[in-house]
Copies of this chain bind each other. A is one copy, B any other.
Amino acid sequence: MNNFRYHAYTDIRFGKGQVKCLTELVAPYGKNVLMVYGGGSIKKNGLYQQVKELLSDFNVYELPGVEPNPKIESVRTGVALCKDKNIDVVLAVGGGSTIDAAKVIAGGATYDGDPWDLVTDNKKIGKVLPIVTILTLAATGSEMNKNAVISNMETNEKLGTSSHDFIPQASICDPEYLYSLPAVQTAAGTADIMSHIFEQYFQKETGAYITDRYSESVLKTCIKYCPIALKEPDNYEARANLMWASTQALNSILSCGKGGAWTCHPIEHELSAYYDITHGVGLAIVTPRWMRYILSDATVDRFCEYGKNVWDITAEDKYECANMAIDATEKFFKDCGIPMTLTEIGIDDSKIDIMAEDTIKYNAMDRAYVALDKEDVKKILMACL
């Protein structure tokens, strides 16, 4: 087990009606609040109005319209508002995109240059305004972690950045907000959660037994409850388990004692950077192809362990067991209604070369579970067509 730091200090308020805690969670930081949100679904479901009422004693400024795969332009607008209105605390109401944008806004508020600098070089992140979130989508885990991913469509870059101070001070997680999600978002969100787990579970370090069992627990939760949530969108138990799974999958608990770099996320980030596709859909397409590509004598035991502990596969032959596990993973995504080829979502082979090149350029793919070079990434992407 590798040495690690675990410091996920977010004050989580989980469950029905927890928005009632909002006032007490925001109050310690000041009166000037920047409320960041997305496309307006919170106006339809009444959450917008509720937040405004709960914060009626505060000065609430608004940044609406944060996009999926949030764009640096929105961040720049938010930073300008922070500086202009002397903002004390940034409140993100939405999913991972909104929260990620809020993080870079909170860092940009005290930075003199262009906030894109904080995305390309996280050493430039200084003081960060406190962040509070109300989560409305189960996917990225951004509500309890230090990460943010921002896109710059001018340069076709979708890059991750992070700071310990990006971890939200508090997050309200009410599973009932998930009831109204379109099926595709429930499915893509679950694919994102599962990919976060795979990126940490498939690593060279094998002595972190407790962490691996946790990872399998969260995977089993996704596999059990995503189909239920798709059939019964207002099944509370399903939504609650998926919502907590999304937080657990990427609050660093599943990497305790483990190391190494990620694989499918870097590859998918290039798909989103060039085609602005739904992140979870891209991950679902890439994941089983990546698994098959790296299956070898060096990895078969791990895939077999995955098959036995997550999918209850009992095949004696190791390769049979591993392949059954990979097939089960692909079939699961397909059964959840996710398009499972790039062709289906309108992507051909024309940019595979540049996407593979950028994957290697921006990420430490040599430190991944199985090190990949540009040719490897190209082959994986070709298999996704």
Contacts and interface: CB of A to CB of B under 8 A. Distances in A.
Interface in A272-327: none
A355 interface: no
Interface-central residue, A12, A16, A210, by most chain B CB under 10 Å: A210
Interface in A2-27: 2-18
B240 A1 contact: yes
Contacts of A211: 244
Interface stretch (A28-36, A78-86, A219-227): A219-227
A224 to B, nearest CB: 7
A264 B139 CA distance: 38
A189 to B, nearest CB: 15
B257 A240 contact: yes
A209 B221 contact: yes
A111 interface: no
B236 A209 contact: no
A42 interface: no
Nearest to A206: B237
A6 B1 contact: no
Contacts of A11: 5, 7, 9
A207 interface: yes
Contacts of A236: 1, 207
A217 interface: yes
Contact of A217 (B17, B217, B240): B217
Nearest to A219: B213
B245 A210 contact: yes
Interface residues of A, number: 43
A58 interface: no
A364 interface: no
Nearest to A245: B210
A302 B216 CA distance: 20
A218 interface: yes
Interface-central residue, A6, A175, A236, A241, by most chain B CB under 10 Å: A6
A3 B7 contact: no
B6 A18 contact: no
Contacts of A217: 210, 213-214, 216-217
A3 B12 contact: no
A161 interface: no
A213 B221 contact: yes
Contacts of A245: 210
Contacts of A2: 15
Contacts of A5: 11-14
A201 to B, nearest CB: 13
Contacts of A347: none
Nearest to A242: B210
A248 interface: yes
A256 interface: yes
Closest 3 pairs between A and B when the two form their complex, measured CB to CB: A3-B15, A213-B217, A9-B9
Given A4-B12, A210-B248, 4 more contacts: A1-B241, A5-B11, A6-B12, A217-B217
28 contacts: A1-B15, A1-B237, A2-B15, A3-B17, A3-B18, A4-B12, A4-B14, A5-B12, A5-B14, A6-B12, A7-B9, A7-B11, A7-B12, A9-B9, A14-B256, A207-B236, A207-B240, A209-B224, A209-B225, A209-B241, A210-B217, A210-B241, A213-B216, A213-B218, A213-B220, A217-B217, A244-B257, A253-B253
